[in-house]
């Protein structure tokens, strides 16, 4: 698929804010993007989106689960103080990036607001010259104390109000690219897969609450009981001064996770396939936690051999996250080719003794 | 209900050592359930049968925070470690009661800097022994904090409101409930304070259709206290989130609509620290739509936890209403 088409998919996906715990707003978008290409779709008991493409092998067929989380980070109204809104974080928010940020408060109506940092003389001494933590910031929507109480309640969601931005060289920026970039890759994979006749059942999952409890990945893996799982998530792209061993070039290829969360046989399969297809990749060391749904999913039930694929992203957990459409295209292609090549006896080949 | 609460909070049962309180609760619920079970971890389950109805797991933890003896020195002084979240600043000068009935007081080493807050390692328990031999406490013995129930009229105080008040609300609801839209699994869980362990296995065993934890939440209504909106006496709180979970929005909506329909007071709760058994239920198996009914409580994990009588009574009323009005579990866009 061309990057222009991928851009339009990504625009659709990022146009709907769906913060952790409140992902059902995205169900309709996924119905539009996924349903026409798959055999069945359903919603899990906690709101994850499940979509199944039947394989062609005789039953009982092995099951592959491909998952990207559908939730995004954001904020929630915590207290209402004389019309000003105090906020709490949904997911890991970098409070240093918040002052000056335009947001939408999802109250009884959608209310525009901005996040404001109080002037230094109103702050505790230690924050007068240092970054101001979230509890000292507020959102101002220009409402009086009474109006705010009427229109806004504790627990109302607050989302970034930033437009999707197309830059040069297939690079785009938007809030929520963590992890809508991966959902875009899954969408491309689903649509491209119609040209193929894979043997395995493919379960595509958009999981809830990765940024919080990972309940989506846990529960979907328990329900589907896949034989293999592939987790797609974003990873840190490099920028001037960033450590080269912890970041990956933007638009220059994908990452293949390597570490405790990743089954080495699966890693080798993906590495060999990427070499063969000439898809550029870097090994991403994840010695402890991967920081993705894989950490929860891998140990569900009797355990699931898991692979983590990364899309490099700059400015993680900010309102101006940045990815390359080319990297999304690469991840999608690698997944399609992997699914297409899965033999019915692949599971028998996964031997710990033959990996290193 | 006050007598029930007093009996519950004065029964010492720290995490992992819930036998005494389990026996007490068993007695109290026996007339009101069709079946009683104790599972492998020691959770007490009271089942109110209703075969074709959706299964709801109601869970209140029956353990409380406490301490465990780790060393007895030659003079009979006892060193200890916490069971659950024990704050050093609440311990100094406090008293404990071991499960074998022995009482003790908490002493502190001489501090080089009296301004500093001593850690638990600098504290010891003195049970009045003259040497190691005469000390009636052995390594591994467990104690709860010693503090009688205090009735301040509208406000009730105890060292174990967390979560015996949830236990009391659940027992009282079972007693007053004539019928229900659910098959009810009333779970009195163990080991919540050491990592929601009991609720984890109970939820797996029950595989409920939905879950509701009943536990205390902190308040923001004390001088220079927590920055949160929940206050004592403004009604039971409906959890929106805490550090352990985001309550299911469908369950939040159900609870709020039910409270409003029944004209019961309620508060919307965001707690920026702590967690409850609700997390364990939500994360169980294929996921469980789960919420939390919170009883506002000042000084949580101090030996004088304070709740409001009307909040407690309204929690029973709200829970009773909820059990008669099942939720719509459709997702909304």
Give pLDDT tens digits for B134-164. 999 999 999 999 999 999 999 999 999 999 9
Task: Give, for A140, the enclosing helix (H) or strand (E).
Answer: strand A138-140
Q: What is the CATH number of the domain that holds B141?
A: 2.40.30.40
| Cis, peptide link before residue B164, omega less than 30° from 0 | no
Domain limit, last residue, from B145, B171, B205:
B145
- Among candidates B268, B285, B331 on the partner chain, residue whose Cβ is nearest the Cβ of A27: B331
Residue B150 lies in a domain: no
**Domain annotation covers residue B135:** yes
pLDDT computed for residue A183 by the predictor: 98
Looking at the fold, whether B220 and B297 belong to one and the same domain comes out as yes
Question: Containing domain of residue B125, as a range?
Answer: 66-145
Q: Select from B145, B178, B205 the last residue of a domain.
A: B145
Residues B219, B81 within the same domain:
no
The 10 Å CB-count burial string (b at 16+, else e) for B84-103 is bebebebbeebbbbbbeebe
B333 part of a folded domain: no
- Same domain flag for B60 and B72: no
Residue B329 forms part of a structural domain:
no
If asked whether residues B227 and B297 sit together in one domain, one would say yes
Nearest-neighbour CA in chain A from B269: distance (Å): 8
Is this prediction's ipTM beyond 0.90? yes
Tell me how close the Cα of A211 comes to any Cα of chain B, in angstroms: 11
Residue B333 is predicted with a pLDDT of: 66
Beta bridge partners, B183, equal B55
Query: Between helices B19-29 and B2-9, what is the axis angle to 10°?
Result: 160
A·B CB contacts under 8 A: 86
Residues of chain A with confidence (pLDDT) below 50: none
Beta strand residue intervals within chain B, DSSP E: 35-38, 44-48, 55-61, 66-72, 78-83, 95-98, 103-108, 123-126, 142-145, 150-151, 155-158, 183-189, 210-217, 237-241, 267-270, 290-296, 305-308
Q: How many domains does chain B have?
A: 2
Q: Is residue B153 part of a domain?
A: no
Residue spans per domain, chain A: 3-72+175-354, 74-160
**Do B103 and B121 fall within a single domain?**
yes
- Domain A3-72+175-354: CATH superfamily, name plus number: Zn peptidases (3.40.630.10)
Q: In this complex, is the C-beta atom of A31 within 8 Å of any C-beta atom belonging to chain B?
A: no
Helices (H), A26-106: 27-34
Res A351: pLDDT: 80
- B221: pLDDT strictly greater than 90: yes
Q: What is the pLDDT of residue A355?
A: 62
A154, B270: Cβ pair inside 8 Å? Answer: yes
| B277 has pLDDT over 90 | yes
- Of A302, A262, A340, A306, give the one whose Cα is nearest residue A65: A306
Q: Are residues B195 and B268 in the same domain?
A: yes
Q: Which residues of A touch B252 (CB under 8 A)?
A: 155
Q: Which residues of A touch B279 (CB under 8 A)?
A: 213
Identify how many contiguous H helices and E strands chain B contains and give both numbers: 8, 17
A24 in B contact zone (CB under 8 Å): yes
| Superfamily designation of domain A74-160 | Peptidase M42, domain 2 (2.40.30.40)
Same domain as B170, residue B230: yes
Give me the pLDDT at residue B305, please: 98
Which chain B residues are Cβ-neighbours of A76 within 8 angstroms? 240-241, 270
Q: Which residues of A touch B270 (CB under 8 A)?
A: 76, 78, 88, 154-155
CB neighbours of A25 closer than 8 A, spacing ≥ 6? A16, A17, A18, B333
Q: Are residues B234 and B313 in the same domain?
A: yes
Closest partner residue to A27 (CB to CB) among B228, B285, B333 is B333
Residue-level pLDDT at A356? 55
Nearest to A21 among B228, B246, B270 (CB): B246
First to last CA, chain B: 42
Is there a single domain that holds both residue B128 and residue B205?
no
Q: Do B87 and B38 sit in the same domain of this protein?
A: no
Q: What average pLDDT does this structure show over B277-295?
A: 98
One domain for residues B245 and B221: yes
pLDDT at residue B97 is higher than 80 = yes
CATH code: domain of residue B50: 3.40.630.10
Is A135 an 8 Å CB contact of chain B? Answer: yes
Mean pLDDT value across residues B23-49: 98
Q: Between chains, do A219 and B283 touch, taking CB under 8 Å as contact?
A: yes
Bond from prior residue into B293 cis (ω within 30 degrees of 0) = no
Over residues B214-225, mean pLDDT: 97
Q: Between chains, do A46 and B270 touch, taking CB under 8 Å as contact?
A: no
Distance CA B16, CA B41 (A): 9
Cβ(B281)–Cβ(B236) below 8 Å: no
Nearest CB to B289: which of A45, A88, A222? Answer: A45
CA of B197 vs chain A CAs: smallest distance (Å): 16
Q: Answer with the one of B111, B145, B179 that is the final residue of a domain.
A: B145
B307 and B175 both lie in a single domain: yes
């Amino acid at each position: 698929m061309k990057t222009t088409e991928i851009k339009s998919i990504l625009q659709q996906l990022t146009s709907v804010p769906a913060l952790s715990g409140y992902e059902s707003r995205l169900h309709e978008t996924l119905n539009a993007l996924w349903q026409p290409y798959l055999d069945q779709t359903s919603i899990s008991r906690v709101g994850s989106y499940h979509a199944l493409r039947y394989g062609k092998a005789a039953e009982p067929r092995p099951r592959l689960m491909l998952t990207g989380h559908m939730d995004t980070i954001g904020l929630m109204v915590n207290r209402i103080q004389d019309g000003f809104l105090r906020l709490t974080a949904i997911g890991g928010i970098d409070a240093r990036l918040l002052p000056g940020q335009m947001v939408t408060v999802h109250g009884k109506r959608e209310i525009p607001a901005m996040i404001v940092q109080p002037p230094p003389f109103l702050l505790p001494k230690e924050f007068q010259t240092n970054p101001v933590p979230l509890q000292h910031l507020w959102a101002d929507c220009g409402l009086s104390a009474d109006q705010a109480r009427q229109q806004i309640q504790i627990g109302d969601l607050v989302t970034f109000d930033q437009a999707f931005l197309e830059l040069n060289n297939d690079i785009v920026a938007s809030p929520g690219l963590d992890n809508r970039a991966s959902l875009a890759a899954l969408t491309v994979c689903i649509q491209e897969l119609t040209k193929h006749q894979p043997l395995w059942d493919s379960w595509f999952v958009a999981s809830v609450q990765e940024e919080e409890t990972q309940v989506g990945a846990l529960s979907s893996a328990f329900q589907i009981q896949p034989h293999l799982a592939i987790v797609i998530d974003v990873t840190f792209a490099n920028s001037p001064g960033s450590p080269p061993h912890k970041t990956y070039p933007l638009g220059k290829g994908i990452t293949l996770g390597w570490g405790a969360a990743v089954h080495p046989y699966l890693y080798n399969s993906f590495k060999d396939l990427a070499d063969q297809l000439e898809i550029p990749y870097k090994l991403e060391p994840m010695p402890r936690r991967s920081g993705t749904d894989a950490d929860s999913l891998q140990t569900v039930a009797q355990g699931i051999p898991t692979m983590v694929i990364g899309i490099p992203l700059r400015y993680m957990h900010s309102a101006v996250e940045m990815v390359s459409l080319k990297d999304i295209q690469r991840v999608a292609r690698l997944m399609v080719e992997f699914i297409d090549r899965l033999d019915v006896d692949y599971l028998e080949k996964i031997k710990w003794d033959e990996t290193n | 209900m006050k007598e029930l609460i007093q009996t519950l909070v004065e029964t010492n049962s720290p995490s992992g050592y819930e036998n005494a309180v389990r026996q007490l609760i068993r007695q109290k619920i026996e007339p009101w359930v069709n079946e009683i079970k104790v599972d492998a971890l020691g959770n007490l389950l009271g089942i109110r049968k209703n075969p074709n109805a959706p299964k709801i797991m109601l869970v209140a933890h029956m353990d409380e925070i406490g301490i465990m003896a780790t060393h007895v020195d030659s003079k009979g002084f006892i060193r200890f470690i916490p069971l659950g979240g024990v704050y050093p600043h609440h311990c100094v000068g406090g008293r404990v009661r071991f499960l074998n009935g022995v009482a003790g007081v908490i002493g502190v080493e001489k501090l080089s800097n009296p301004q500093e807050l001593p850690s638990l390692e600098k504290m010891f328990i003195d049970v009045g022994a003259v040497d190691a031999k005469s000390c009636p406490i052995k390594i591994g013995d467990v104690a709860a904090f010693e503090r009688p129930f205090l009735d301040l009229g509208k406000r009730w105080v105890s060292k174990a409101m967390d979560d015996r008040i949830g236990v009391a609300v659940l027992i009282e609801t079972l007693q007053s409930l004539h019928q229900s839209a659910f098959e009810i699994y009333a779970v009195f869980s163990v080991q919540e304070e050491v990592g929601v362990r009991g609720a984890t296995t109970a939820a797996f065993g029950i595989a409920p259709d939905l879950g509701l934890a009943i536990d205390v939440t902190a308040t923001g209504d004390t001088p220079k206290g927590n920055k949160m909106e929940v206050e004592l006496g403004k009604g039971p709180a409906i959890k929106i989130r805490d550090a352990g979970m985001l309550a299911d929005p469908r369950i939040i909506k159900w609870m709020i609509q039910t409270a409003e329909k029944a004209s019961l007071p309620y508060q919307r709760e965001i707690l920026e620290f702590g967690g409850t058994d609700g997390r364990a239920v939500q994360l169980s198996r294929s996921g469980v739509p789960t919420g939390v009914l919170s009883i506002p409580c000042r000084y949580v994990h101090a030996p004088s936890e304070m709740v409001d009588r009307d909040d407690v009574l309204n929690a029973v009323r709200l829970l009773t209403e909820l059990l008669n009005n099942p939720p719509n579990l459709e997702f909304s866009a």
